[in-house]
Amino acid sequence: MAEKNTDPDAAALSQAEIDAEIAAIHGEYRAQRDAGGQVETNARLNFAPYRSSLLRHPTKSLHHADPEDIELYSPAFGHRDVSPLEADLTIQHNGEPIGERIIVTGRVVDGDGRAVAGQLVEMWQANAAGRYMHKRDQHPAPLDPNFTGVGRTLTGPNGEYSFTTIKPAPYPWKNHNNAWRSAHIHFSLFGTDFTQRIVTQMYFPGDPIFDLDPIYQSITDQAARDRLVATYDHSVSQHEWNTGYRWDIVLSGSNRTWAEQEEER
């Protein structure tokens, strides 16, 4: 096999060639899983169809560490850090942003189902035309002077969060020729242990680009991929105001020894 072009912006391959690479990796994964092998629940670090990963994934196994002191805690965030207004991305400017107004809401829990309360959730996204408010985004789609696309909030006592925003559009990128990203919102979360730290992306149900998107497909298992897709929730939609999406987030397992009272909190 010819050596892969490691320039992440080369856009050298066709969608069909990328699709074939994805299909081969997924096929191999399903075969080993169905033969009793490991079920993959996370994205792969080494996933060649996502060209930017070629020179940026570890080539050696991760080294097992038993978490110590600092790793069993997370930084604390409070209302000094985050204003409640930061959860509404539609009120950050003088006018209304253009696009479909949505509420994205859900709960953050850890791997044992405990609510992650009072922790920081950050999110950022493209606007309704698929353009980021970032100087490196040169996609010739309009910027919206009334939409920055950055939000923050603290989770409530039951781990709940809610953002009011505009539905982002898909956008092109240079991974391969005619490459498009599924519409998504970036999320960044903290847990009770720093080892639960995660940055991920939330997707919208029924996106026609899912199968073509090597970032989404870097998760080899369909059940795991589905966990990044929000569901439309009509109870979150509001009369003549917004449509609603629900997306619950499960952090990895805490390695703390939990006291009973904390468990019940």
Catalytic residue from among 171, 203, 216, 245: 171
Shortest distance in whole angstroms from residue 90 CB to other proteins: 16
Tell me which residues in 154-183 interact with other proteins (CB under 8 A): none
Per annotation, catalytic residue among 51, 131, 152, 181: 181
Among candidate residues 50, 132, 203, 216, the one labeled active-site is: 132
Q: To which H or E segment does residue 160 belong?
A: strand 160-166
Distance between CA atoms of residues 181 and 131, nearest Å: 12
Minimum separation from the CB atom of position 180 to other proteins (A): 14
Catalytic residue check, 181? yes
- How far is residue 232 from each of residues 90, 107, 171, 204, 205, measured CA to CA in Å? 20, 15, 22, 8, 7
184 is catalytic: yes
Task: Supply 68's token pair.
Answer: 């110590």
Q: Is there a catalytic annotation at residue 171? A: yes
Scan residues 179-208 and list those touching other proteins (CB under 8 A). Answer: 184, 186, 188, 194-201
Judged by CB under 8 A, does residue 74 bind other proteins? yes
Coil, strand or helix at 81: coil
Give yes or no: 203 in active site.
Answer: no
Which residue lies nearer to other proteins by CB, 125 or 242? 125
Subset of 217-236 contacting other proteins (CB under 8 A): 218-220, 224-225, 227-228
CB of 15 to other proteins, least distance (A): 20
Residues of span 120-159 touching other proteins by CB under 8 A: 120, 122, 124, 126, 132-137, 148-150, 152
Q: Which of residues 53-72 bind other proteins (CB under 8 A)?
A: 53-71
Size of the site for other proteins (CB under 8 A): 87
Beta bridge partners of 201: 186
Give me the least distance between CB of 191 and other proteins, in Å please.
Answer: 10
Distances, alpha carbon 12 to alpha carbons 2, 3, 16, 24, in Å: 13, 13, 12, 19
Q: Which is nearer to other proteins, 38 or 239 (CB)?
A: 38
Residue 163: count other Cβ atoms within 10 Å of its Cβ. Answer: 23
CA distance 228 to 220: 13
CA–CA dist 231, 104 (Å, integer):
10
Of 174, 239, 224, 206, residue with least CA distance to 30 = 224
Which residues are known catalytic residues?
132, 171, 181, 184, 186
